[in-house]
Structure 1
Amino acid sequence: MADIKYEIIEKIGQLSESSKGWTKELNLISWSGREPKYDLRDWDSEHNKMGKGVTLTVEELKKLKDVLNEIEL
């Protein structure tokens, strides 16, 4: 499998940390030199290994924010 090229443009926030030191983070990432997208996934402490995640455009992130604001916790 080829190496995945990415650049973390902005670290926005950490949601949690596992007992093994992996963190679930929301970041702005450019994948393979493309326009940056918002990205939510698990990372190892050095940001060399990653878990499966989801990438969102600005419009999708705004919609997600609206949906989350409708949830009563």
Structure 2
Amino acid sequence: MLPFIVGVAAGAAVVYTLGNRKAIKHTLKSGVDKAKELAEDVKKSVDGTIECIKSKKSEKLEVKEEAQ
């Protein structure tokens, strides 16, 4: 009985997917676009943090050299 239920559920999922292909495609494209934007924002933030850390390290080195 369980294989029959699983088969019916899988068949229903396939029919639903084929019937709503355009809506699913649009939703996936929208999600991918949002993910790309988020990835770009995260990359910019990480790059900014790296630059900040590098500048602080170079400032410390300059202060050390001036003190000697």
TM over 0.5: no
TM-score for both structures, normalised by structure 2: 0.28
Structure showing greater radius of gyration is 2
**Of the two structures, which has the highest relative contact order with CA contacts closer than 8 Å and spacing of 6 or more?**
1
- Which of the two has greater helix per residue? 2
TM-score for both structures, normalised by structure 1: 0.26
